[in-house]
Amino acid sequence: MKVGIIGGGAAGLMAAATITETHPEIEVFLIERNPELGKKVVISGGGRCNVTTGLRDMKTLFTKYPRGSKFLSSAFYGFPPEAVFEWFETHGVPLKIEDDGRVFPVSDNGNDVVRAFENLFEKHAVHILLSHTAKLVEKNTDGFIVHCTGHSPLVVDKLIITTGGQAYRHTGSTGDGYGFAEALGHTVTPLAASLSSFISRDTWIKELAGVSWGYAGLSTDRAATPPIAGPFLFTHSGITGPVVFAFSALAAFEPATPKTPLTIFINLFPDNTHVQIETQIRAACTLHAKKSIENIIAGFVPKSLAKNICGMAEIDAELHGGDMSKKQIERIAQTLQHIPIHAIGRGAGDEFVTAGGVELSEVNPSRMESKISPGLFFAGEILNVDGFTGGFNLQASWATGRLAGLSIAE
């Protein structure tokens, strides 16, 4: 049997490794448009490769996927994070779990992850077609025909499409796989960038560049996007950081343009009620009656932010604490828990992920096989599955790639 795999990223690498290790008699052809394998894998996590997550509780793990969590169930129970961890260690890549739960090679070198696959493929004589771009995929009565540059048409019995999304185009993830899927009868859902930072039209943000906050709530008045909390950072042009990336995933399909800004509300004290914050400010104003309200607020937030809080609440920053009225204290408390940011664009994030992809109802989640075109399989980011930052997207790629490989090997 001959198996073709289009895409030498995480899912394609794991699918090829699984087939060749479990059934070495199967001929595997791995087609990659780049001159090297795993280009996106290597650069993930700042070049260190955030291999997977240290999370072990499956229920919690599924909450890290805004789209596709239910679909991932079979793949994850078959190849959970601890199994991924063990796989790499047994293939010569020692791993470590950092304090934030992310998993990296002990070497902090993403090349080691890809090298494990290269060594395996060399040992098992997998056909690696580097610098070959798949241009057309056809189905015939016997299987599939893949037309790619620099090679005669490749006829295979089974085909796995693992071309990734289109979020980081210079790594080769240009979205070609969506066209292949549609040509073979599949539906591709709307696509959007995920795990991004936000660019704001609010000029006051420039003054706060570099100011970080350990735990804040982000929300919007658009009903489809739930609130979420975590650390963030002000930049010269907007906001970034872990909770911003997660929020961008939840709001991936919400427009954020100059014509249709996305209003994001920042709650600097999400674990406190409005009344609690108001009481604390009132007590501080009483205790420091001769201090300016700006300096009093600076006891709650960084000083560079305190002045802006006064401006948003429309209160003179030089007003003494003892002169603050009840209504003014209420406005300060409200502002601290409801700072509006008007997002007009999305910027770079920690990862490079596309929200949307091949419609999941058309794929068998227990095999990763197409329900429309038998013998066709999908794995990785080409599917309508995406996770938050922290190794969750690579975990999904390893798991779905392995399941596709096992299903074919059967």
pLDDT exceeds cutoff 80 at 13? yes
pLDDT reported for residue 222: 85
Q: How confident is the model at residue 213 (pLDDT cuts 50, 70, 90)?
A: very high
Residue pair 59/352 in contact (Cβ under 8 Å)? The answer is no
Residues 66 and 145 both lie in one domain: yes
Residues 31 and 157 both lie in one domain: yes
pTM across the whole model: 0.92
Q: Tokens for 70?
A: 């239910």
**Which of residues 349, 368, 387 is at a domain's end?**
349
Which one, of 407, 408, 396, lies nearest residue 9 by Cα?
396
Residues 309 and 178 both lie in one domain: no
Q: Tokens for 389?
A: 């930052």
pLDDT digits (tens, 9 = 90+) for 365-388: 999 999 999 999 999 999 999 999
Q: How confident is the model at residue 169 (pLDDT cuts 50, 70, 90)?
A: very low
The CA radius of gyration of the chain, in Å to the nearest whole number, is 25
pLDDT exceeds cutoff 90 at 150? no
**Amino acid in position 354:** T
Q: Distance between CA atoms of 222 and 292, rounded to whole angstroms?
A: 37
Mean pLDDT of 256-284: 97
Residues 187 and 73 both lie in one domain: yes
Which one, of 264, 239, 270, 230, lies nearest residue 388 by Cα?
230
Q: Distance between CA atoms of 214 and 88, rounded to whole angstroms?
A: 33
Please give the order of strands across the beta sheet that includes 52-53: 52-53, 102-105, 95-97
**Which of residues 349, 373, 389 is at a domain's end?**
349
Residues 179 and 91 both lie in one domain: yes
Mean pLDDT of 71-85: 98
Q: How confident is the model at residue 170 (pLDDT cuts 50, 70, 90)?
A: very low
Q: Distance between CA atoms of 8 and 163, rounded to whole angstroms?
A: 8
pLDDT exceeds cutoff 60 at 215? yes
Residues 14 and 94 both lie in one domain: yes
pLDDT reported for residue 172: 43
Residues 26 and 91 both lie in one domain: yes
pLDDT digits (tens, 9 = 90+) for 338-372: 999 999 999 987 667 999 999 999 999 999 999 99
Residues 274 and 175 both lie in one domain: no
Mean pLDDT of 138-161: 95
pLDDT reported for residue 167: 53
CATH number at residue 102: 3.50.50.60
**In whole numbers, what is the pLDDT of the chain averaged over residues?**
94
**Which of residues 303, 330, 349 is at a domain's end?**
349
Residues 106 and 153 both lie in one domain: yes
Residues 178 and 152 both lie in one domain: yes
Name the strand (E) or helix (H) holding 159. strand 158-161
Lookup result for tokens 């056809």? 138
CB-based burial label for 334 (10 Å; 0-12, 13-18, 19+): middle
Range of the domain at 57: 2-192+351-409
Residues 154 and 6 both lie in one domain: yes
pLDDT exceeds cutoff 90 at 178? yes
- Which residues are CB-contacts of 164 (< 8 A; sequence separation ≥ 6)? 7, 9, 11, 40, 171, 172, 173, 177, 354, 380, 381, 382
Residues 312 and 335 both lie in one domain: yes
Total structural domains within the chain: 2
Mean pLDDT of 59-88: 98
pLDDT exceeds cutoff 50 at 325? yes
pLDDT digits (tens, 9 = 90+) for 280-298: 999 999 999 999 999 999 9
pLDDT reported for residue 350: 67
